[in-house]
A and B are shown apart, each in its own frame.
Chain A
Amino acid sequence: MLSLRVHGRGGQGVKVASRILGTAAFLEGFYVQDFPLYGAERRGAPIAAFVHISEDPIMERGVISDPDMVVVMDETLLQDAGAKPLSGLRTNGVVLINTSRTPEEVTADHGVEAQVVTLDMTKMSLTMLGESILSTPAGSAAAGIVGIGEEYLKEAAERVLAGILSEGEGLDENVKLALSVFRAVTPLDIKTVEAPPEASPVIIVSFEPAQISSPTINALGNSPLRRTGNWRVFRPVWNHKVCTKCMACLARCPDGCISLDEEGFPCVDYENCKGCLICVRACPAEGIEKVREAQVL
């Protein structure tokens, strides 16, 4: 059995990517189980999905804590303490990362102990579709690495995407993207070593008074400590040569992240800006550029 975990951000299509892979394996005749995990959904927040592919019936439920392969749809997640995309990856496992950098660079930067495959899916999608759609390329690249037959991947992409694209709009272009990403990777023989399960003994939970054991939070005012800047995939960058200081961006920012500097130019709190890019669209002078976060890193 091959167990995969897909990491990305809400809105990037983590679930769809896992379903393209899952459906392709299913069409090829494997037993498959796929499962997205999300709580109170929000765009930009780290999200994960899971796929088991097996020749035998699958006796698993729930999350995968020791995957054979990890797909990272957003490079910035590698530093995210909450997402921990590489946690539990088995020895000799495979990591597929959406990045413009080489496997060697990523390995050096993040100390990844695995076979690293990198592919600039964002660029491929921007080139072929004119926008950053990651679900199709991530699912297709994973299918390619796992060694699924091309005809099954094609049918899977068509099936899964037909269900979500309204009136099938853009289906052909997406399938083309799926196939070119699929052909851009080579199948790997993934043979991992099962890690000994993390030994944590069962304990006896003893009584604690309600003061401690009720679900209340005594700590006040700590929500500002929860920075949301790491949700960003693209960041807005102001061009002062074009900016007319009209403040349309400041007025439209849903999170109050934009303020004015001493000269009256808008400036943004990147610690908390979620990268919704409403400001980019709001700017009448087209003076705000959308810059890929990974290029800023």
Chain B
Amino acid sequence: MKRDMLTGNAAAAWGVRLAEVDYVPAYPITPQTEIIETLAKWISDGMMDARFVSMDSEHSMITAAGAASATGARTFTATSSQGLLYGFEMIYTVAGWRVPLVMVNVSRGLSSPLTLEPDHNDIFAIRDSGFLQIHCETCQEVLDSIILAYRLAEDEQVLLPVMVNMDGFYLSFTREPVEIPDPEEVREFLPPYRPKHAFFMASRPMAQGVAVLGGSAYSYFKYQMHLASLKALEVYGEICAEFEKKFHRGYGPVEGYMLEDAEYALVMAGSFSTLGKKAVKRARDRGIRAGLLKLRLLRPFPEAYIRRALEGKRAVSVLDQNISVGKGGILYSEVASCLFNSKKKPVLLSFIGGLGGKNISPQEFEFIFEKMIEAFEGGPSGPHLLYTEKEWDDISILKRTAEKEGDA
């Protein structure tokens, strides 16, 4: 084991190197490119025994990755934002093949307007595809999650692809201390992939991803994917226990921060959770019994864990770093659905923040806690977009510069 300063992208590359993958089809996109650049260099320098191929698009890249995975090769690829959407068709297709592909998505807001900075609309676009989703808060989590992801995806009871998500800039380009596990120990935890599942071999022809007409066959296959995804929640627990024993870092499907005795809780995912935790500490200093629930596994959705963590709280705010245009925060709806039938459900509020990487200031977190206390006493308000007067002034200047009509 060694410890070094790594960006989220470098941590991802290390996770892939330690997983001893066989094949990396790749296509560049900001803010992901550093991952494939790093892997390309390692492979070229002979530090990784793998094949690297530059593809002509993300659509081809995901197709190649899924197909390679179907031959039993341990495969990795990565993308972001527009790239993920460009390959979107193949995301569903590859998931249906039931192959253990692991991908990284470096979150970046979707066009238009075009941006480079993060929010989670890209990763949630593939929410219903069958890919499992692990969301990371730190660079260490990125490295560890890739190793965990291969164990999870390759488990005979699961066999679904996994997407490991990190925020562009806030993790992808941010360096922090990361423990790089010993390769031998990783090999013990994640032995070479020896598929028992049907896979392509020259000596054994087969057809994969067949067409089915008539809904009964289609329904069967889709529902089996759903059941496998739910199964993955159990398997994840077992794998994480084993991981913790070996590497002394524990990762539940959710993580509570000062949550046990909290009356008011934030629900967040991704790197901004760090800011949420700091806000919780500050709120505690002001005498508010605050806590935070971080969602790590978003597919399968850890319903029972969330229910157990939030039942009995006075008020809970789901802070979505995404927007379902015409509905609001995506996680808010999901969290609400698993609390609806509970007799001990808290008042639930919805906040949208951090779109396109917008900072969430201490004042905005304070606003959330104020609204939660009000809601406990008088009922929920919102949904609220976290947006300050100063930011409104800034956008007003931009609008004037662009000569938008009607803006005084």
Closest to A156 in B: B5
B361 interface contact, C-beta 8 A = yes
Q: Chain A's nearest CB lies how many Å from the CB of B274?
A: 5
Residues of B within 8 A of A201 (CB): 363, 367, 388-389
B135 interface contact, C-beta 8 A: no
Render B164-207 as a binary contact track against A, CB cut-off 8 A, 1 for contact. 00000110011111000000000000000000000000000000
- Residues of chain B at interface, number, CB under 8 A: 42
Q: Decide: A212 and B274 in contact? CB cutoff 8 A.
A: no
Q: Looking at the complex, which one of A31, A35, A203 makes contact with B387 (CB distance below 8 Å)?
A: A203
CB neighbours (8 Å) of A39 from chain B are: 116
Given contacts A59-B274, A61-B170, A202-B387, contact A218 B405 (CB under 8 A): yes
Interface flag for A62 (CB, 8 Å): yes
- Counting chain A CB atoms within 10 Å of each CB, the highest count among B277, B363, B367, B404 belongs to B404
Interface-forming stretch among B62-70, B79-87, B153-161, B395-403?
B395-403
Contact B404 A211 (CB under 8 A): yes
A147 within 8 A of B: no
13 contacts between A and B (CB under 8 A): A19-B175, A26-B5, A32-B176, A35-B173, A60-B275, A200-B391, A201-B367, A202-B384, A203-B392, A208-B407, A217-B403, A218-B402, A218-B404
Within 8 A of A (CB), among B364-408: 364, 367, 384-392, 399, 401-407
Question: Size class of A's contact patch?
Answer: 35 or more
- B387–A61 CB distance below 8 A: no
B116 touches A212 (CB 8 A): no
- Contact of A216 with B402 in the complex, beta carbons under 8 Å: yes
A22 at the interface (CB under 8 A from B): yes
Which of B5, B367, B401 lies in contact with A32, CB distance below 8 A?
Answer: B5
C-alpha gap A136/B5 in the complex (Å): 18
Q: Check A200 against B390 for contact (C-beta < 8 Å).
A: yes
Which B residues lie within 8 Å of A34 (CB)?
Answer: 5, 174-175
Which residues of A are found within 8 Å of B177, using beta-carbon distances? 26, 31-32
Residues from chain B with a CB closer than 8 A to the CB of A209 are 406
Cβ-defined contact, B392 with A205, below 8 A: yes
Residues of B within 8 A of A216 (CB): 402
- Closest B residue to A199 by beta carbon equals B363
Residues of B within 8 A of A (CB): 5, 112-113, 116, 169-170, 173-177, 271-272, 274-275, 277-278, 281, 357, 359, 361-364, 367, 384-392, 399, 401-407
B359 partner residues in chain A, CB cutoff 8 A: 62-63
Nearest Cβ distance between residue B368 and chain A, in whole angstroms?
A: 9
Q: Is A37 an interface residue (CB 8 A)?
A: yes
Residue of A nearest to B176 (CB): A33
Contact among B173, B278, B363, B390 with A60 in the assembled complex (CB-CB below 8 Å): B278
Chain A residues with CB below 8 A from B176, complex form:
31-33, 58
In the A-B complex, the 10 residue pairs with the closest CB atoms:
A215-B113, A200-B390, A200-B388, A219-B403, A59-B278, A218-B403, A217-B402, A35-B174, A202-B367, A212-B404
A272 interfacial contact with B, CB 8 Å: no
Shortest CB-to-CB span from B116 to chain A, Å, is 6
A217 vs B404: C-alpha distance when bound (angstroms)? 7
A130 contacts the other chain (CB 8 A):
no
Chain A residues positioned under 8 Å from B364 (CB to CB): 202
| In the bound complex, CA of A121 to CA of B389 (Å) | 41
Q: How far is the CB of A83 from chain B (nearest CB, A)?
A: 17
Give Cα A31–Cα B170 distance, bound, in whole angstroms: 17
| B-chain residues with CB within 8 Å of residue A199 when the two chains form the complex | 363
Give complex CA distance A63, B391 in Å.
16
Is the CB–CB distance between B404 and A202 below 8 Å?
no
Q: What is the distance, in angstroms, from B7's C-beta to the closest C-beta of chain A?
A: 9
Question: Are A61 and B363 in contact, CB atoms less than 8 angstroms apart?
Answer: no
Query: A75 to B361, alpha carbons, bound, how many Å?
Result: 30
Q: Is A287 an interface residue (CB 8 A)?
A: no
Contacts of B357 in A (CB 8 A): 62
A27-76 contacts to B, CB under 8 A, are 31-37, 39-40, 58-63
Query: CA A40 – CA B31 in complex, angstroms?
Result: 11
Least CB separation from B406: chain A residue: A212
Closest to A203 in B: B389
Contact between B402 and A59, CB atoms less than 8 A apart: no
Within 8 Å of chain B (Cβ to Cβ): is A23? yes
Known: A32-B177, A36-B173, A59-B281. 4 other contacts (CB 8 A): A22-B175, A202-B367, A202-B389, A204-B384
